Structure 1
């Protein structure tokens, strides 16, 4: 697809699970969960184009459908016919797009505080994205609050915010074309799947949510659980949006129960 993608993987004789991170994040979102999951799964994580260590391409089409096709191409590269698919936030919405596009390749879905029901950006904002220096405005908007403040918004327990965590989330933001790729995401991103589209996804789905999520509220999770025909929702007290950072052990145990059910 003409874009360089960073991937980490650990293959064994266990069934494969592919992990997709959220907006302005990377595979590092799963750094506490992966050591637990590797006892039971072959693991693949990818940094989506525009984020993490993947290319900040100024030609890639940053639409959910294209992201879905890229993930399927990664599956082909690793010769994986079927997988368990897990996504956090925006990665959850991409996972839903994959399950709609090629359901036969997905065994089950695990959604961590999945993005849902977001509309496409306003036409005026999309048109503004074509202005020559709009990417500088995008960079300012991303950087104005600082990485620590952003993490404080997505993590309920602020004592978990370490210098390592801050550095991992800060590093991609400083790359040359990061803001340009964000502008292209704003321009290309479709609205989230409609209730009618969600109702066509028959795959078993486990929805895991923080009750103090300020980004994608538990109310959204409850609505999503109703629209997906075969979904189960579990929520956790004292947890925010980045639930993989705050509740890795609890998530791991529920994932294993869900896979084995």
Structure 2
């Protein structure tokens, strides 16, 4: 009995030690471990070539079935920094009856994981999306991106305008701004170098409280998912590399955008100011702007139904020839 109790105490201590190390982010999670928790029946992994060689991009192809609905409108979704394709769960739930939806874990994030060479830039991300859409034999589609995903989206639309039918930018990066404290800390030498070895869960909790306008909506499940996906092997160093690569945003091409564009923005965004939404609206001909009082940096996650419904209205309304969409307008939404 004494031997049993001693063994039990030893096991409890080991579990406690591991739990503490896990909480503080002293551990890496192997890809198969994270995949077992966050991949599902819709998850697919595809190996691409050229600039994407060496990784398998994780994506989900959901909503209207391509074989049963070959003419269904296609919508690609790109998440922001430190996030994953799971940030679009609410949109998929609300839009799956009207669209074929393809959401992607951008290289360096989620279940896709990092590039072996550690090089991240907008051009490489644009190439990933171009290759993926070509491999899926999708010639044209609508495209929605949040934050970093928005930066990739509008750059893609500039480079491949023939592929983008309509564009949605949600609190998108595009103009220079002061980094929020958390991201600024990740660019300091000491924290930047230690990021690969320690990522406490309370940091993830604090970050989510910053990007939500109403942090009471941040659930324990959401915190756990963000933390575990950050601990996926290679993802933490990728975050640091991505931050360095997008520090100086080139926005001179924004005026070249000619596709119908909707801009959705949380008025309580503490990361990218509301003024940037107005800049996008002013520089993109015919763009429509919708703002959400009290909402933060990730409207699709904080108010999924409202933001998805606004996106649906924009994506499905008929555009007269020649192409002209509604004049630029700011439409505050009361939640």
The verdict on a shared fold, with TM-score over 0.5 as the criterion, is yes
The one of 52, 74, 77 aligned to 2:132: 74
| Pairing 1:1-261 to 2, within 5 Å after superposition | 1-2=52-53, 3-10=55-62, 11-12=64-65, 13=69, 14-59=72-117, 61-118=119-176, 136-139=193-196, 143=200, 146-189=203-246, 191-194=248-251, 196-261=252-317
- Superposition TM-score, scaled by structure 2 size: 0.69
Maintained 8 Å contact 1:199/1:228: yes
* Deviation at residue 246 of structure 1 after TM alignment: 1.9
Structure 2 portions without partners, runs of 5+: 1-51, 180-186, 318-335
Q: Which residue of 2 aligns with 1:126?
A: none
Q: Residue 26 of structure 1: CA displacement? A: 0.4
**Take 1:138 and 1:210, find their aligned partners in 2: how far apart are those partners?**
29
Q: Which has the higher contact order (CA 8 A, sep 6+)?
A: 1
Whole-angstrom CA distance in 2 between matches of 1:197 and 1:97? 8
Q: Structure 1: any 5+ residue segments left out of the alignment? A: 122-128
Compute the RMSD of aligned alpha carbons: 2.4
Please report how far the alpha carbon of residue 149 of structure 1 lies from its aligned counterpart in structure 2 after TM superposition: 0.9
Which whole-Å deviations, capped at 9, do the CAs of 1:157-214 have from their partners, x for residues lacking one?
22211111011111122123223223432454473232x3111111111000111110
Conserved 8 A contact 1:58-1:184: no
Q: Distance in 2 between matches of 1:168 and 1:199?
A: 37
Cα 1:244–1:141, aligned 2, differ >3 Å: closer, same or farther?
Answer: farther
CA distance change for structure 1 residues 182 and 38 in 2, over 3 Å: closer, same or farther?
same
SS at match of 1:146: helix
Distance of aligned partners of 1:210 and 1:183 in 2 relative to their CA distance in 1, 3 Å threshold: closer
Question: CA, structure 1 residues 177+33, in 2 after alignment: closer, same or farther (shift >3 Å)?
Answer: same
Deviation at 1:155, TM superposition (A): 0.7
Structure 1: how far apart are the matches of 2:275 and 2:198?
Answer: 27
Q: Give the drift of 1:56.
A: 1.8
Alignment coverage as a number of residue pairs = 251
Q: Which has the larger radius of gyration?
A: 2
